[in-house]
Amino acid sequence: MFYWLAKYVLVGPFLRLFFPTKITGTAHIPETGGAILVANHVAVADSFFLPLHIKRRLSFLAKAEYFTEKGIKGRMKKAFFSGMGQIPVDRTGANAAQDALNTGVRLLTKGHLLGIYPEGTRSPDGRLYKGKTGVARMALEAGVVVIPVATFNTEKVNPIGSKMWRPARVRIEIGRPLDFSRYEGMAGDRFVERSMTDEIMYRLMEMTGQEYVDVYAAKVKADLDKAAAAAIAAEGKGPGTVTRLPPAKAS
């Protein structure tokens, strides 16, 4: 109930007023049954606008940290994300990837609509990065269609590092379902899953016009973090850096 209350009363009217959105291709989403919507990911705001403008309830697999924060603020965030259909997934354990896959397949086989960002994380610079094969595995195991979605201008609404959203016009384009029936029964074949994922990313590149980079976005983010930490350490301000004082003069 909270999902629909937020969509039509608590959050939805505000987003519709300040962030007018044009959406096309909604007819490509089946009215019933499981399906995966795969989208590019350039801002946290992406997860708000797509569910708002389609009829069916859409769930995303979300990092567990959204649900584990302490205090009143943490409880409010947990209630909000749970009510909005977000499914917590622990990404730190040894079996994190498999747990996420199992959760996704379970939802799909129950007829849910699942949103996936195949890049695995938000783009650090607006480019489109290499997709992870989990989306292909879920599609094959659950036997569902994969529908590409291109989102535009959410990076203007919610720039990286910003705390306040900025009014902007958002556009969402939903493409025709991708046909992977030729791979039926081949879940677990890493070459098949890689081929499917690359086809998904190629279609997203065509739809969004983003520059494609054949590297995982998570690696790029990790490299940027290391470079930033090294730069700070080089200035003598990093953690573990010891500031040596000049020897005291004899009295």
237 or 220, greater pLDDT: 220
Distance CA 71, CA 63 (A): 18
On whether residue 8 sits in a domain, the answer given is yes
Specify the length of the chain in residues. 251
Domain that holds residue 93: 2-214
How many folded domains does the chain comprise? 1
pLDDT per residue as tens digits for the range 8-50: 777 778 888 888 999 999 999 999 999 999 999 999 888 888 9
Q: How far is CA 153 from CA 42, 173, 249, in A?
A: 9, 12, 62
Q: How far is CA 114 from CA 58, 86, 127, in A?
A: 6, 10, 23
On whether residue 233 sits in a domain, the answer given is no
pTM of the model as a whole: 0.83
On whether residue 100 sits in a domain, the answer given is yes
Highest mean pLDDT among 1-15, 97-111, 195-209, 213-227: 195-209
- What is the reported pLDDT for 83? 65
pLDDT per residue as tens digits for the range 42-66: 998 888 889 889 999 998 877 777 7
On whether residue 15 sits in a domain, the answer given is yes
pLDDT per residue as tens digits for the range 93-150: 657 678 888 889 999 999 999 999 999 889 999 999 999 999 999 999 999 999 999 9
Report the relative pairing of strands 145-152 and 113-116 from DSSP bridges: unpaired
CATH number, domain with residue 59: 3.40.1130.10
On whether residue 225 sits in a domain, the answer given is no
